[in-house]
Structure 1
């Protein structure tokens, strides 16, 4: 039976940690609740067991890179602690004391210092640059004003976990094509660097009598062996140039506009952004943020700058009282089904609920479309690189055959 490491809160509000055997996570949660604990975090152990139990010691961590996954985990833990009845300062102190929280422990300590200094949680989050998105801070502010901070954080955690799940699925799906590409590229490098040079002595006296394809392959192989160091330099330069270009607003705008014209890719981008925008806007409206403010915050979550511009224009029309669905449909920012469902939500008075439904629908469609795209991409990449390898070998074979027809070869 697997062992799980857990972190939980007891009836006195103290954080305890330990290890327990359970059939699965659900069984572990039930067992902890039967013992009077509120589970905060569970993790399946893969190494040797550690002695468990005991009160958590507050150890600060240096702030590192804050990932979306780390932010989602922080939100879930904070919501769970508030739901267990802890005041906000004790909840933040608990998260700040967890060494496993990494950079978020440092962030939590900063929030704790600000809250103990008299600031609200939303104001404290605004003092943490680059950590909490605008819509996140806006939701927390609405939760503080309405006395529903626990519910708001729970909704935020749900939305973040769903978005992170989709992101991880897409990344995992891309792993296999990348491995195929790397393996095929390595095969081509080995051919040019090690295999082709072995045939060069056979063609020493052939000269211009060799087929042009063989001469080209031999020239590329010789250049590769002579200037092999240029390949890693070129790759490094390309990576640095791409990283620098990503910081340029003009380059990003041009790239995003170009991506929206790609067949097969543009519809997928629209669905990804529709799910992201609808989830953010639905969560904001659900927690009492006014529509005009909510749409501005939701636009900030959209990654494609071209779509963000279209949505910004739709937000201006919304503030003039024109509704949401019609401006979005006119801008052609999202698939027709999304705007039709939004219009139905506006007419029924349940726009927040319908937006979250739209997000769920397009999450599923993105998963399905990504799988379909990769099912086409992998054979295409394999075929293309197979053609390259075959062309190299074909050139060598043609040179061998022609050498038998050359006097003195």
Structure 2
């Protein structure tokens, strides 16, 4: 498909310009005529490709924030009674992000051709399976405006969590980078200078000093090898994490990490509880809810457990039994699920579970820097002590020897 720019006039005679993706000019003309626009000029859009896969250099891609605000705007417009085609057209004209304007244009094209909104969303390749499943439920139940509001709230929660985690790790990341830079400078410039001084005395050096000098000499002589190993390790780890087995092991390890593992586990379970509650409230069947929510939790290990739970429910087991067998939920959460099944309010109690976990995660994330800071201080103190002993012990020994000679 190619990108075409067009000029035409609508039923009121107003000049209309825009971009379309189509197989040829005839297809563009047919599309415009079906929308009540009389084409005046159609030509290939050179350098202004409308296709989502052909973004110009430096052009911002569609972000989660774009989708979040789109959901809120769609809720407001649909609640006000604005037709969905008119809503998409207005949002496209007012969009300040060319990539998302292209998404909205493609959505409108899909609806013009008779497709359902959920299918048009799938064709864009931008929206998540969870988002599409929720919209499909809204189409089936006639509550599409409410679904957009709930999706906005869900995406807003995800954004807040990412911002809090990013703010919490900013200081520790800065300290670690500063320590790495200090080690590099000391190895490349400081220790070699002391090594020349120590070599002039022809004295036996302490073990710590010999180790520091040896490591520094290796770094200076084979810096290219060290750099190559670091780059190779980073690329290898990144490639391994993209494999299903690597992603599964890493996501499982994240839940067991000291200090942060418990917080990651609670954040993941909060995401599951909120998304699952939203799915059930919207009218999604339980088994289908498990399938779409597994793609939202952003953890392959938890997603595998949710898939096992789905299979158990399909066999006729209760949610409580499958949840207990998964061994990822606390006894209190299991009790809430049990009460929810007995009262028929699983979605309501799961939302309470989500809010409880979110409060705990927010508190732990706010105090994450305070928990990591002592460890960083100890590591920094250990590094300083090692360097101090390696550099000053020989100087102390040499000074003592000179004093004995003078005496």
Aligned-partner Cα distance in 2 for 1:290–1:201: 74
The equivalent residue for 2:370 is: 375
1:15-54 → structure 2 map (5 Å cutoff) = none
Q: Does 1:331 align with 2:326?
A: yes
8 Å contact from structure 1 (residues 180, 382) kept in 2? no
1:328-367 → structure 2 map (5 Å cutoff) = 328-367=323-362
Q: Does 1:105 align with 2:65?
A: no
Q: Does 1:78 align with 2:74?
A: yes
- Provide closer, same or farther for how the CA distance between residues 243 and 91 of structure 1 changes in structure 2, counting only shifts above 3 A: farther
The equivalent residue for 2:16 is: none
Residues 112-152 of structure 1, C-alpha deviations (whole Å, 9 max, x = no match)? 211111111101112123x2222211110111122211111
The equivalent residue for 2:311 is: 316
Matched residue of 1:210: which SS?
coil
Which of 70, 86, 92 does residue 88 from structure 2 map onto?
A: 92
Aligned-partner Cα distance in 1 for 2:164–2:119: 34
> 1:162: Cα distance to partner?
1.0
The equivalent residue for 1:286 is: 281
Matched residue of 2:69: which SS?
helix
1:70-219 → structure 2 map (5 Å cutoff) = 70-129=66-125, 131-207=126-202, 209-219=204-214
> 1:98: Cα distance to partner?
3.9
Matched residue of 2:96: which SS?
helix
- Provide closer, same or farther for how the CA distance between residues 95 and 259 of structure 1 changes in structure 2, counting only shifts above 3 A: same
Residues 337-394 of structure 1, C-alpha deviations (whole Å, 9 max, x = no match)? 2222222222222222222221111111112223444322122022112211221122
Aligned-partner Cα distance in 2 for 1:248–1:349: 40
Greater mean alpha carbon deviation, residues 148-157 or residues 364-373: 364-373
Aligned-partner Cα distance in 2 for 1:337–1:101: 45
- Provide closer, same or farther for how the CA distance between residues 230 and 112 of structure 1 changes in structure 2, counting only shifts above 3 A: farther
Aligned-partner Cα distance in 1 for 2:86–2:385: 66
8 Å contact from structure 2 (residues 164, 365) kept in 1? no
Aligned-partner Cα distance in 2 for 1:309–1:210: 56
> 1:249: Cα distance to partner?
0.5
Residues 309-354 of structure 1, C-alpha deviations (whole Å, 9 max, x = no match)? 2221111222233321231022212222222222222222222222
> 1:242: Cα distance to partner?
2.6
Which of 240, 254, 258 does residue 253 from structure 2 map onto?
A: 258
> 1:256: Cα distance to partner?
2.5
> 1:165: Cα distance to partner?
0.7
Q: Structure 1 regions of 5+ residues with no counterpart? A: 1-58
8 Å contact from structure 1 (residues 79, 154) kept in 2? yes
8 Å contact from structure 1 (residues 95, 101) kept in 2? no
Residues 30-67 of structure 1, C-alpha deviations (whole Å, 9 max, x = no match)? xxxxxxxxxxxxxxxxxxxxxxxxxxxxx968655443
Q: Structure 2 regions of 5+ residues with no counterpart? A: 1-48
Q: Does 1:306 align with 2:301?
A: yes
The equivalent residue for 1:385 is: 380
> 1:196: Cα distance to partner?
2.3
Matched residue of 1:118: which SS?
coil
Aligned-partner Cα distance in 2 for 1:94–1:222: 66
Aligned-partner Cα distance in 2 for 1:238–1:93: 48
Residues 279-322 of structure 1, C-alpha deviations (whole Å, 9 max, x = no match)? 11111111111222112211221222222222211112222333
Over the aligned positions, Cα root-mean-square deviation in angstroms equals 2.4
